[in-house]
Chain A
């Protein structure tokens, strides 16, 4: 007890000093720890944190480019960007949202759905964001809002651009359309350039020339705060507008072609044989591409898909038709070239043909009574099948097939469109590979009159006609002016180089007789102003059995013959080559030739005085 009262003050003070010194040391050590930490953050990792800080505040905002426009060869606009207006509200500038919405409702129609969407966006968007209330305002609605805009704080009319195709159906298959990009597009596209692009070309020219039309994205470097409000623009690179495109098509001629088709399903392809420029290209029925731009309603799309006439199908490039008798001038030329026939060689046509020493099958002529004695010229003029049965039998498929290939049959023309069929050019090898069967002589006969396996697209027919008009000089069909590469010269096929000038003249003359001779199958379209060379064709949709009569009127529409016509004009100096295919049209001379004639006449009207 006593000891407790005896305090050693000196010892206590020294004990305290000791403890205080330890504390002071600890303080110094811990301050050093803090300094080490600061060195780590501010010196060693300064760059890293500077980057993070920069990323925090600086944002890149992409600015989408404006899509290029599409014109016809004369500057008629075919695809344009129309302003579409939407009404948007910036919540932070609005004093009383309820009252404002009531005010807007009294001016324009706001549906329950619009309000619901608006309220949904209001919840998750920032108060300084633009929140859309109504899209696609009519001009009238824009005017009503604009007149009182100063009394509606926070309300904005925002313009955006919408693709529009003023000529609608007439150009539907050529231009195609743009649509919202989907998952597949996103995988395929350059993510940078397309970051703020919502629409891309889905079909036609819009798809093929996507990279030209699209342009290059621009950027705005902005400084924003933690809430994402943009405070200022630091830097910007404006987007490069997409390039405009001028088509080779003449919109007026295109309209004439569409009109001439009437209610028929089919295709017209007209081109300038001198350079391959497509002047008109029609596939009927067409469709209105405009609803596709912002998403066509499922019901409407389904109706288009289920339509028996298949309006979405581009017959000009994808339709595969038996060329029928339109193939005869090419077979005739082959006959001349290989010396199987000549200008004077004649045969007697009894209305049918039997392969010598072969099976006893009768190959019938379309004219039951026969054409009598005919030479090549007359066989083309009157479209005698028997002459060509005989000729092709002697030519054999091994010479026919390569010769037709030289005219572009059986391969893609290379037109500047996303999808094209190569048709079908049969050969011995093809049949062995695809069907594992030998080639039969009867099949050569069918090929010789454009039936059997042989299939061609209307574009291929027009291209072959153009080569014929050019006497062998090849063309590459194209839809955009200046799109054929200047340095790349097309070489004349060696097979066609070997064809003598007089044979070309002879075939062209025979084709002229088709139109201008009193026995020609297309004589009804003859005119006195310029000479037209043509060839009619009527191709069977289904095979007619032996001894069976084909009666047009009794056959259901779907099974009726396709009517075809190929032509070029003027014969002396061809400026237009055309192919017309009318599905189930019946006779080529009666149906297809007059349609082709309308287009040729309209086109030539401006060229010949």
Chain B
């Protein structure tokens, strides 16, 4: 361990870094997040048809998200670990409440009406579920044995199931993958992984026939062949591919995307905002955006490898990889690589809870990174 004394005059750090250190913020992550948020606001201005009011609302949400990030960065990973079982129980209770007394929006019960604002407990679960698995595995020798693995799966399946029956397939899959990443990073043996994949393949048919809702089946069918239903559910994908493709290498210019400005592109300020961005900024813009995302993800993974305890490592790695899943699933869906699943483009899509959750995740990453030395001491 390198022992760096901050008071040592021979080892001077710039003043702003000292401040950031005291605030437990990671400078590279912070800068990338700021740039991304700023890009997001500009794209949103275009996607909403130059509605400055919507941009302001989004800015306020981002501000709230950054505040949560700041707060979480102050908590040590140990504190988080201590709170994990409690948070998990609370999350499960809230999810149950959603099913019993939630507000129905577009055929799915996802929201709890807390009078002053609406709250989506499933968003909380996106962080708490991997925390719980990490908490459980951190106490044992790694790689985990089959018993531990099965126990983790049972633990994970409670929120996954509760969210799935809301129904919110997208979030449910995100929670499942967040939990899976913890298991994978903990050293889940390859043979188990292979076995599980085989089992999943075998279960695909019963899931397709009995567990999926009609609209979910339609989404997958449409993904496989969007041109079959050009006016119905295939319309989204066709129009979004046209938007991206017509953007070309350099794009049509900010506010000049005809697909988005003339309403051809549906859901353009939320799930399909990447198509707006690609149409107006082209391949060059998209590369920039992907570089920014890659930087955040790889920095997150790097932070996880630098962490000093299992819990931090597993949680940090899972948060980074889940963030990647967001990026990949959203862009994959918008560009026609993946079926349409309601996953927003992180920090750019319009909408409240996902921004707060994502920034909270980065808060945890920053906490892991900045509390490292004190923990070591």
Contact = CB atoms under 8 A, between A and B. Distances in A.
A29 to B, nearest CB: 11
Nearest to B282: A42
B297 A27 contact: yes
A573 interface: no
A225 interface: yes
A19 B184 contact: yes
A34 B337 contact: yes
Interface in B169-195: 181, 184-187
Given A12-B310, A16-B305, A57-B258, A41 B287 contact: no
Contacts of B286: 35, 38, 42
Contacts of B301: 20, 23-24, 27
B262 A38 contact: no
Nearest to B328: A30
A158 B274 CA distance: 44
A53 B262 CA distance: 11
A45 B246 CA distance: 8
Nearest to B245: A49
A28 B294 contact: yes
Nearest to A34: B331
B241 interface: yes
B298 interface: yes
Interface string B239-279: 10111111111000000001100111000000000000010
A17 B305 contact: yes
B242 A53 contact: yes
A50 B248 contact: yes
B31 interface: no
Contacts of B282: 42
B185 A19 contact: yes
B142 interface: yes
A15 B242 CA distance: 44
Contact of A43 (B243, B283, B293): B283
B141 interface: yes
B297 A226 contact: no
B244 A15 contact: no
B335 A38 contact: yes
B236 interface: no
Given A7-B141, A24-B301, A42-B247, A225 B262 contact: yes
B136 interface: no
B313 interface: yes
Contacts of A41: 241, 244-245, 335-336
B10 to A, nearest CB: 30
Nearest to B286: A38
Contacts of A8: 141
B85 interface: no
A223 B262 contact: yes
From B241, B246, B313, name the one whose CB has the most chain A CB atoms within 10 angstroms: B246
A23 B321 contact: yes
A56 B249 contact: no
B319 interface: no
Contacts of A4: 140-141
Contacts of B249: 42-43, 46
Interface residues on B, range: 35 or more
B317 interface: yes
A75 to B, nearest CB: 51
A50 B262 contact: no
Nearest to B291: A31
A250 to B, nearest CB: 59
A432 interface: no
Interface residues of A, number: 42
A20 B317 contact: yes
B263 A225 contact: yes
A460 B104 CA distance: 86
Given A37-B335, A56-B264, A57-B264, A16 B245 contact: no
A346 to B, nearest CB: 93
B290 interface: yes
B242 A56 contact: yes
B321 A38 contact: no
A143 interface: no
Contacts of A19: 184-187, 317
A15 B245 contact: no
B332 interface: yes
Nearest to B331: A34
Contacts of B326: none
Given A13-B313, A17-B305, A57-B264, A23 B185 contact: yes
Interface string B133-156: 000000011110000000000000
Contacts of A160: none
Contacts of A33: 337
Nearest to A4: B141
A38 B297 contact: no
Given A16-B187, A20-B304, A53-B243, A39 B317 contact: no
A50 B297 CA distance: 33
Contact of A42 (B181, B248, B258): B248
Contacts of A231: 262
Contact of A38 (B243, B244, B313): B244
Given A38-B283, A46-B248, A53-B242, A16 B317 contact: yes
B161 interface: no
A48 interface: yes
B278 A42 contact: yes
A48 B185 contact: no
A233 interface: no
A50 B313 CA distance: 46
Given A34-B328, A41-B245, A27 B321 contact: yes
Contact of B262 (A30, A31, A224): A224
Contacts of A97: none
B324 interface: yes
Interface string A214-236: 00000000011111000100000
Interface string A42-78: 1101101110111011000000000000000000000
Nearest to A226: B263
B262 A34 contact: no
A117 to B, nearest CB: 26
B283 A42 contact: yes
B83 to A, nearest CB: 23
B298 to A, nearest CB: 6
B263 A227 contact: yes
A31 B304 contact: no
Nearest to A45: B245
A35 B289 CA distance: 11
Contacts of B262: 56-57, 223-226, 231
Interface in B311-339: 313-314, 317, 321, 324, 328, 331-332, 335-337
Nearest to A16: B313
Interface in A432-486: none
A153 B287 CA distance: 51
Nearest to A53: B246
B36 to A, nearest CB: 15
B245 A50 contact: yes
A8 B248 CA distance: 53
A34 B264 CA distance: 23
B263 A23 contact: no
Contacts of B143: 15
B245 A39 contact: no
Closest 10 CB pairs of A and B: A49-B245, A53-B246, A226-B263, A225-B262, A41-B245, A42-B283, A49-B246, A46-B248, A226-B264, A52-B242
15 contacts: A4-B140, A13-B313, A16-B186, A16-B310, A16-B314, A19-B185, A20-B317, A23-B321, A38-B286, A42-B247, A42-B286, A46-B245, A48-B245, A56-B262, A225-B262
Given A20-B305, A38-B278, A42-B282, 10 more contacts: A16-B310, A16-B317, A23-B185, A23-B317, A24-B298, A34-B328, A42-B278, A50-B245, A53-B258, A57-B258
Interface of B: 140-143, 181, 184-187, 239, 241-249, 258-259, 262-264, 278, 282-283, 286-287, 290, 293-294, 297-298, 301, 304-305, 310, 313-314, 317, 321, 324, 328, 331-332, 335-337
